[in-house]
Amino acid sequence: MPTELKEQASKSTMHPTKIDLSEKSRAKVIELLNANLASAIDLHCQAKQAHWNVKGPQFIALHELFDTVATVVEGGIDVIAERAVILGGTAQGTVQTVGKRSALKPYPTDIAKGSDHVEALASALAVYGKSVRAAIDTATEAGDADTADLFTGISREIDKHLWFVEAHSQAKS
């Protein structure tokens, strides 16, 4: 994490709560949630980029699929952000923060062909899915079963939609 973001995170005030997790555990999990929040917001934008710009013979199927992916990811964004606040933190979801913190590669803005969008979005979903699975373990180690469960649910949805997207590139015809 860039130094300025670490400083910003350390200066963030944790709000008091009666949740029975230590302040140290809550701080660790809030940081984890905000890191994944940035990637989720980026993934949502990438899915919308694909949705808006896809062209070719599979246009309508991909256009609708990419919009569905964006909707699913958006639901996870809200859950992640709210969990950070529930634990006494501040959800860090500004465009500036997302741009600095997302673990995803920038989405190519010079593509139109359906297969190119399928590859780009599948790659982004895979990176985010890996991050979410790692977050399950980190939240568990921090003693926060609820956040681990939150990430488990997100992981299932991301894997399912990665399957839907990848299916468009797996046929040999």
Report yes or no on 7 lying in a domain. no
State how far the Cα of 77 lies from the Cα of 82, in Å rounded to an integer: 9
- pLDDT at position 7 is 44
Cβ neighbourhood burial of 95 (10 Å; 0-12, 13-18, 19+):
exposed
Cβ neighbourhood burial of 2 (10 Å; 0-12, 13-18, 19+):
exposed
Can you give the CATH number for the domain in which 140 is found? 1.20.1260.10
CA count, 13 A, side-chain hemisphere, 157: 18
Report yes or no on 137 lying in a domain. yes
Q: Could you read off the pLDDT tens digit of each residue along the chain, which spans 173 residues? A: 455 544 444 446 889 888 989 999 999 999 999 999 999 999 999 999 999 999 999 999 999 999 999 999 999 999 999 999 999 999 999 999 999 999 999 999 999 999 999 999 999 999 999 999 999 999 999 999 999 999 999 999 999 999 999 999 987 65
Quote the domain boundaries for residue 90: 22-166
Q: Report the domain count for the chain.
A: 1
Report yes or no on 145 lying in a domain. yes
30, containing H or E segment: helix 23-53
The residue type found at 85 is: V
